[in-house]
Chains A and B, each alone.
Chain A
Amino acid sequence: MLDILLFGALPYVAMVLFLVVSVRRYRYEPFSFSSLSSQFLETRRLFWGSVPFHVGILAVFFGHLAGFLFPRELVLWNRVPVRLLVFEVTGLAFALLVLFGLSGLLWRRLTTSRLRVNTSPADLLVHAMLFFQVLTGLDIALRLRWGSTWFAEALAPYLRSIFLFQPDVARMAEMPLSVKLHVVGAFFFFAAFSYTRLVHILVAPVPYLWRPLQVAIWNRARPQNPAA
């Protein structure tokens, strides 16, 4: 019963919250749709937290995404033990980078008086959720070896079944506890995503790369010469 709730219903709750709340917040509360940068109040320690954290989390995220999108290729890659080892060690290194950065960020936030007054409960929730994900992920990587292969063989099909609206709860039910915790944590993460500063990921300024540098906005339509 709990399995059905956690692996059959929760993902859809998370998905709906993620989509609906993001769109609603973007449209009706655009003012708050960003991260609240604290670099202006403290910059030196931010460097040692923010950079490793972001580099690590991006690598880990795209690693997960690759495993989900190309499970076959991942299994084929991992067939040679050396390549498996390289992949796992790389992933582990990035996860440790995340842990290092995240610890630095939390420690900085809690020990700098200027930041403490500018920290919301949602910020602490984000830290807690990220810690939970990193620690359960590290547990899987270290205790249950070769997670990347069976992520491709067992978890990717489960995730796909969610998106096909036929959740394969049975497949999840037989997973080890660490994996279950990691997956449930991820669902809670996505459910809470749009209520927190994490929304800044959705507005990453990629279009800037092809935008003309200068921006001019006319209030009136320009009658004849439309050259902008």
Chain B
Amino acid sequence: MDVRAQVSMVFHLDKCIGCHTCSIACKNVWTDRKGAEYMWWNNVETKPGTGYPSAWEDQEKYKGGWQRVEGGVQLRAVGKVRGAMTVFHNPNLPTIDDYYEPFTYRYQDLFDAPEGADQPTARPISMVTGEPMDIEAGPNWDDDLGGSPMYAANDPNLEQVSAAEREALFEVQRLTFFYLPRICNHCLNPACVAACPSGALYKRGEDGIVLLNQERCRAWRFCVTACPYKKTYFNWSTGKSEKCILCYPRLETGQAPACFHSCVGRIRYLGMILYDADRIQSALAADPDKLVDAQRGLLLDPNDPEVIAGARRNGIPDDVIASAQRSPVYRWVVEWGLALPLHAEHRTLPMLFYVPPLLPVMAKVGDTGYDTSIDDFLGTVDSYRLPIQYMASLFGAGNEGVVRYALRKQLAVRTYRRAVTAGDVDMAKADSLLAAADSNRQQADAIYHLTSIAPFDERFVIPPMHREQAIEMMEDPLTAKGFEGFGFRQRPERGA
């Protein structure tokens, strides 16, 4: 057992209201720079929908992630041999048009326009060329267009859904959608790191955050191709790749990442996870329908004395182990089985887990509104508005069982809470639903608590990062006395 620590995350999709506050918080802090205007390290997509960059899930086009081969896994389009063959021109690199051309408006025209018969307008101009342009795409271009045949119909996950169900999905009466906020998954088997020929990308040993050293990045761009989530970005102005850094400077000072902190719906959870690095190879080679379970199997019980001993052997400090014991992530993912990895089939072992949304649960609508008199008025998993295959394509690597399990348990918890608070559901029925969903009242209370009323420091259990030790290891703290501060000691500009 090789115990390691990883900062990991859970997003509760039922709570996401699609307000994009997370995206804006991230944009303001990190990517409001030349060459980074088009980057959204955090973005929120409407599902069904094509997302950002457009149709990023279509790996026939983008060729990201790992493929299972004899004796392990292999990068789909890049890597040592194929990378060398495409080093002069990478046929699988998305271009700026796959994202969108960033734009602003010539606001000054509103003030400077000469007096005339017409109102002056602020023309949109490209933030690349500075020339006037027509806006044809944006980072959330299909926002809230879940039923539109123009956008949603192109969602690659719908390939898993039968034609009849696909048609039904876009009927006006059944129209539904949900939001999918995405950041870097800080994977255990990151394809971007493996694809970087310069060794600029790396996983931080202490906390598993995947970072990119811009001073070692040489613009080969294979990370952009390799990431199946398209969460490494190329800055066309500096010629360097960039990605989500999980706000590590905030984490190191005990603050939640900007997108977590600003989340209005409080959908986000963050905590330390202990995992067994020895078992990664076997988890990578699992059959597609066993992938989710194999990945969850890597995560170790932080209260197991054997795990604690293993963690200490590997130099994980006691206060980090204690933090892992309080981690909300372990409960969501392992104890309750509610949170699932996104597109586990790319075998990167993403460490961001999603609680699949229950969506509008009241499926029966009578003449006077929702009919609460019927037996299953909260609906059942089988009357779920989105096809289960669709959800399984997103969160189960094709395995419907794990998605069904998570939905059934959430539904049981909801019915139970209805019985407790409103009393119009029979408690015996709630108990039987809980039992059928592999749960009980105690667990349901805990799930309810963490879902609905958990305060800040229960949602974000930020481990002590022991940055002070790391700094002392690397340098004498006094050497930088009198310097200008953090960051570049030269301006981040290219000489030639």
Contact = CB atoms under 8 A, between A and B. Distances in A.
Given A37-B219, A219-B204, A25 B495 contact: yes
**Interface range, B side:** 35 or more
Contacts of A35: 218-219, 239
A113 B131 contact: yes
B197 A208 contact: yes
B215 interface: yes
B89 A29 contact: no
B250 interface: no
**Interface range, A side:** 35 or more
Contact of A197 (B89, B240, B496): B496
Given A41-B95, A209-B80, A221-B473, A195 B89 contact: no
B96 interface: yes
B492 A31 contact: yes
Interface stretch (B188-196, B362-370, B427-435): B188-196
B198 A203 contact: yes
Nearest to A192: B496
A166 interface: no
Interface string B88-122: 11110111100000000000000000000000000
Given A215-B203, A222-B315, A41 B80 contact: no
Given A38-B236, A195-B495, A211-B199, A43 B193 contact: no
Classify the secondary structure of A's interface with B.
loop
Nearest to B35: A118
Contacts of B467: 219
Interface in B120-144: 128-131
A39 B221 contact: yes
A66 interface: no
Interface in A20-40: 25, 28-40
A205 B496 contact: no
A40 B221 CA distance: 9
B130 A117 contact: yes
B494 A205 contact: no
Contacts of B470: 219-220
Nearest to A37: B219
| Among all A-B residue pairs, the 8 with the closest Cβ atoms | A205-B197, A219-B470, A218-B205, A122-B496, A213-B194, A36-B239, A208-B197, A34-B218
11 contacts: A31-B492, A35-B239, A39-B95, A47-B89, A51-B89, A208-B197, A215-B199, A219-B470, A220-B205, A220-B315, A220-B470
